[in-house]
Amino acid sequence: MATEAIAVFDIGKTNKKFFLFDLDFKEVHRDYTYLEPIEDEDGHPTENLTELQHWIKSTFHNILKSKEYNVKAVNFSSYGASFVHLDDMGKVVTPLYNYTKPIPEEVISRFYGQYGPEIPFCRETGTTREGMLNSGIQLYWLKHEKPEVFAKIKHSLHLPQYLSYLFTGIPVSEYTSIGCHTALWNYEKQDYHDWVYQEEIHKVLPSIVDTGTSINTKLMGHPIKVGVGIHDSSSALLPYIRSIDKKFLLLSTGTWSIALNPFSKELLTDEDTNSNCINYMRINGEPVKAARLFLGNEYNEKIKELAQLFHVSEDHHKSVGFNPALYQKLKDKFTHTFEWTSLDVESPKPPAPMNFDSYEEAYHQLMMELVELQVDRIKRAIGNDAIDQLYIDGGFAHNQIFVELLAHGFENMKVKTTDASLGSALGAAIAISDVELDQKFLKNNYALKKHRPLITN
């Protein structure tokens, strides 16, 4: 008997993954590939859309031929802030411009000159000024800098919706992609921002549908529900929202550490915007207040420095556990020591000298200083909400010192860690399913662990 399954394409910048989940959301099949980037017309690296299309279609074709699985639905999770522009024949008009591609500063300055001031605009749109990462600015750039190209565009689809379009031929927009630092959406009016209408950009943006929408179609004779796609950060949050019955904050850690508060009813303040807070969007269009910190990137840089300073391998940090005596020693004479190279915060002036007796002591000091910054970002995301549950996922969920110090910084909160390696893919499967999740879901699927403190004072 073939296993009934939900298929998900989880498309990251580096790895492209394909999953099958059974109807209890257990992974039953996985496939992945790596596609070398190509270059756009300016020599900037970009996604190889042709190869991506080929891999997706051939992978799905092969799974439908298999007698082992009966695929009932397919959905798509992908990085956001990336548009695929189609002409009136459905042909791709431009490369999929990488969101790291620079836009000329004069174009961005002109935009904010027309539709700013910058801080009120960013507050309304839940963004910070980040060029192509604000995907709406890409449309403004195309219209004014490449008008002959812009004139060919019939539909502009964010990448998750383009992946869905490959299966259905139906162009749509959906909330989580629109609400992801695009500068398109006015969170105060809950509609596209006025600039979108003034520039007539809305004419290339298809109708908005709910993220849970599916389109019934037949593929190779199989009746299949095709989802409309979901932005990966919103997708990773969804299993928590569906299975936790109390307010919580999710700290998603990695290269970026993002504190996500899906319960904030407050609009961003000017101070929030100045502190690198942005909005993501839930699948129902409600805002998610997010406070970001380039934590993983800074951590990796400092680990290299400490390895050189103490003549140990760069992996040495993985063997360091929490030492209460070292922590107390550093706490009793705490002074800031580290100068930050990639964090959007001021380093102490002047920093204390690196007078440490051991790598372990220096490492504890590093973690104390990083967690101090992380605590501030979490408090920023919480705002005035009454939240007493903190979930940590991603790489730092496995760092004992990080979790211990963070829990100590929020002594009145219950701190739990999860292993959400399938997070965005599993969220996409849940988004297209009508199944209600219970409170055991995270324990059964995400290796949920309650933190038990080691610091006693």
d(CA 128, CA 126): 7
CB atoms closer than 10 angstroms to residue 214 = 21
The contacts of residue 379 (CB under 8 Å, 6+ apart) are none
CB atoms closer than 10 angstroms to residue 90 = 11
d(CA 80, CA 133): 9
Residue type present at position 11: I
DSSP state of 204: G
Quickly list DSSP for 278-327.
Answer: EEEE-TTS-EEEEEEE-HHHHHHHHHHHHHHHHT--TTGGGGPPP-HHHH
Q: Which of 422, 383, 424 minimizes the C-alpha distance to 176?
A: 424
The contacts of residue 10 (CB under 8 Å, 6+ apart) are 16, 17, 18, 19, 76, 77, 78, 232, 424, 425, 428
**pTM for this model (two decimals):** 0.87
What token pair was written down for 70?
């009966």
Mapping DSSP onto H, E and C, the string for 382-441 reads: HCCCCCCEEEEEEHHHHCHHHHHHHHHHCCCCEEEECCCCCHHHHHHHHHCCCCCCCCCH
d(CA 61, CA 83): 25
What token pair was written down for 434?
């009508």
Q: Using an 8 Å Cβ cutoff, are 189 and 206 in contact?
A: no
Encode the chain (457 residues) as per-residue pLDDT tens digits: 899 999 999 998 878 999 999 999 999 999 999 999 999 999 999 999 999 999 999 999 999 999 899 999 999 999 988 999 999 999 999 999 999 899 999 999 999 999 999 999 999 999 999 999 999 999 999 999 999 999 999 999 999 999 999 999 999 999 999 998 999 999 999 999 999 999 999 999 999 999 999 999 999 889 999 999 999 889 989 999 999 999 999 999 988 899 999 999 888 988 888 888 999 998 888 899 999 899 999 999 999 999 999 999 999 999 999 999 999 999 999 999 999 998 988 877 777 788 899 999 999 999 999 999 999 999 999 999 999 999 999 889 999 999 999 999 999 999 999 987 777 899 999 999 978 898 889 888 888 899 988 887 6
Beta strands in 107-206 (DSSP E): 155-158, 173-174, 185-186, 191-192
Beta strands in 81-124 (DSSP E): 83-86
